[in-house]
Amino acid sequence: MADDLFNSFMNGPDEKGRFGDFGGRFVSETLMPLILELEAQYEHAKTDQSFWDEMEFLWKHYVGRPSPLYFAERLTEELGGAKIYLKRDELNHTGAHKINNVLGQIILARRMGKTRIIAETGAGQHGVATATVCAKFGLKCIVYMGAHDVERQAPNVFRMKLLGAEVVPVTSGRGTLKDAMNDALRDWVTNVRDTFYCIGTVAGPHPYPAMVRDFQAIIGKEAKEQMMEAEGRLPDTIIAAIGGGSNAMGLFYPFLDDKSVRIIGVEAGGKGVNEKMEHCASLTGGRPGVLHGNRTYLLQDEDGQILEGHSISAGLDYPGIGPEHSWLHDIGRAEYVSITDTEALEAFQLLCQTEGIIPALEPSHAMGHVMKIAGDLPKDHIICMNLCGRGDKDIFTVAKALGTDMAGLSD
């Protein structure tokens, strides 16, 4: 037993918040007491049954969990190989996996007596989820969003405003997700007493990567049980898209010690993983560095300055990745690949046409990789892909990429 525990991939992080060499607590002194308090409160809540009871009640009655595990029959036929299951986290309230984590953090914030919630958002899904849960609990909500993303994700901006959140367009730096995170950290440093920073992904200083993973692990936990029910065995391959990596970590974590399960993370390849860095594939095209409180793989230049990535998907447009992914990559427990904008767009359309599901552009990247490998795999090979978000928010972007004039369509 002790030996099994020692060999487990599920023991991280250590007391310094490290997964191997990755993770840690690289924050300014002003924030340090806050993240230590958060860690203590989370450690306490984690072992408190009443905390999880509240989570489970809301997951069931507010979010609509468990999300179905769906056998994509026509897609499987179309690709002509492995049997493809989709974990339908796009059916959650607010349309993505983000709310799994937000609920956990907001319940924790309430326990800590915090009244003001701040969040960063890229595609807007985390912002919408945070605004939603804040509305439900009557908490003040401020969402930092890169000015560029405010523009390309207008429907989500309007949703957040409807839900009573204040959306702050971030123009500092280049006005993208990483800058939104910088500004959220600046807000937190300024408003330390009443404010809780609800981070949307498995990145940031310890304990965020572990805490967000624990809240998202409901995805993998359900998928495992549902797969046993449907097939009587574990899947052979599990696949998820990665920006910061929270939906992927949520699916992967409960499977880490199931050594027969192949784990694949799909990064945003943008226009191709090239020298010009027109992609967001931190693991494939970056190297270790320190940003936003943790050491992880980052897109950076030779001077250690952080680079802007490019992806058609605002949710994957982040130059870093959660530290646990960096560790899983380095020890080889998970494989990381990249899918380009073009491949993701093809996958987006295929899922629409074969299954009647409009996926978000983020999981369209995971689908793009499924398209690449499924046909060459035997028919008894089972793939489980996390369909982490729905595509309503992306139809404008997709229309533009496909050369369709949406204004013309409404005539």
Partner 1 sequence: MTRIDDKFAALRAEGKKAFVAYLMAGDPDAATSMEVMKGLPDAGVDIIELGVPFTDPMADGPTIQLAGQRALEGGMTLQKTLDMAAEFRKGDDTTPIVLMGYYNPIYNRGVARFLDDAKAAGVDGLIVVDLPPEEDDELCIPAQKAGLNFIRLATPTTDDKRLPKVLTNTSGFVYYVSITGITGSAEAEAADVGPEVARIKAQTDLPIIVGFGIKTPERSEAIAKVADGSVVGSAIVDLIGKGKPVAEVLDFVKGLADGAHRA
When asked if residue 372 is in the footprint of partner 1 (CB under 8 A), the reply is no
When asked if residue 185 is in the footprint of partner 1 (CB under 8 A), the reply is yes
Total interface residues for partner 1 by CB under 8 A:
37
Distance of alpha carbon 245 from alpha carbon 221, whole angstroms: 17
Among 91, 290, 358, 399, binds partner 1 (CB under 8 A): 290
Closer by beta carbon to partner 1, 177 or else 388: 177
Among 47, 49, 50, 190, binds partner 1 (CB under 8 A): 190
When asked if residue 186 is in the footprint of partner 1 (CB under 8 A), the reply is yes
Closer by beta carbon to partner 1, 33 or else 64: 33
* Backbone torsions φ then ψ of 307, nearest 5 degrees: -100, 155
Among 83, 148, 152, 292, binds partner 1 (CB under 8 A): 292
Q: How far is the CB of 81 from partner 1 (least distance, A)?
A: 43
Which region, judged by CB under 8 A, interacts with partner 1, from 151-159, 295-303, 327-335, 400-408? 295-303
Among 13, 19, 22, 27, binds partner 1 (CB under 8 A): 27
When asked if residue 40 is in the footprint of partner 1 (CB under 8 A), the reply is no
Distance of alpha carbon 316 from alpha carbon 364, whole angstroms: 11
Closer by beta carbon to partner 1, 193 or else 332: 193
Closer by beta carbon to partner 1, 186 or else 381: 186
Q: How far is the CB of 115 from partner 1 (least distance, A)?
A: 17
When asked if residue 25 is in the footprint of partner 1 (CB under 8 A), the reply is yes
What is the 3-state secondary structure of the chain? CHHHHHHCCCCCCCCCCEECCEEEEECCCCCHHHHHHHHHHHHHHHCCHHHHHHHHHHHHHHHCCCCCEEECHHHHHHHCCCEEEEECHHHCCCCECHHHHHHHHHHHHHHCCCCEEEEEECCCHHHHHHHHHHHHHCCEEEEEEEHHHHHHCHHHHHHHHHCCCEEEEECCCCCCHHHHHHHHHHHHHHCCCCEEECCCCCCCCCCHHHHHHHHHCHHHHHHHHHHHHHHCCCCCEEEEEECCCHHHHHHHHHHCCCCCCEEEEEEEEECCCCCCCCCCCHHHHCEEEEECEEEEEECECCCCCECCCCCCCHHHCCCCCCHHHHHHHHHCCCEEEEEEHHHHHHHHHHHHHHHCCCECHHHHHHHHHHHHHHCCCCCCCEEEEECCEECHHHHHHHHHHCCCCHHHHCC
Closer by beta carbon to partner 1, 170 or else 370: 170
Binding track over 143-182 against partner 1, x by CB under 8 A? -----------------------------xx----xx-xx
Closer by beta carbon to partner 1, 86 or else 185: 185
Among 13, 19, 22, 24, binds partner 1 (CB under 8 A): 24
Q: How far is the CB of 197 from partner 1 (least distance, A)?
A: 12
Q: How far is the CB of 207 from partner 1 (least distance, A)?
A: 12
Among 63, 108, 291, 361, binds partner 1 (CB under 8 A): 291
Closer by beta carbon to partner 1, 49 or else 305: 305
Q: How far is the CB of 306 from partner 1 (least distance, A)?
A: 4
Closer by beta carbon to partner 1, 67 or else 176: 176
- Do 327 and 363 meet the contact criterion of CB atoms below 8 Å apart? no
Closer by beta carbon to partner 1, 162 or else 192: 192
When asked if residue 283 is in the footprint of partner 1 (CB under 8 A), the reply is no
Distance of alpha carbon 380 from alpha carbon 116, whole angstroms: 50
Closest CA to 243 of 315, 184, 308: 315
Binding-site ranges for partner 1 (CB under 8 A): 16, 24-34, 172-173, 178-179, 181-182, 185-186, 189-192, 289-293, 295, 298, 300, 302-306
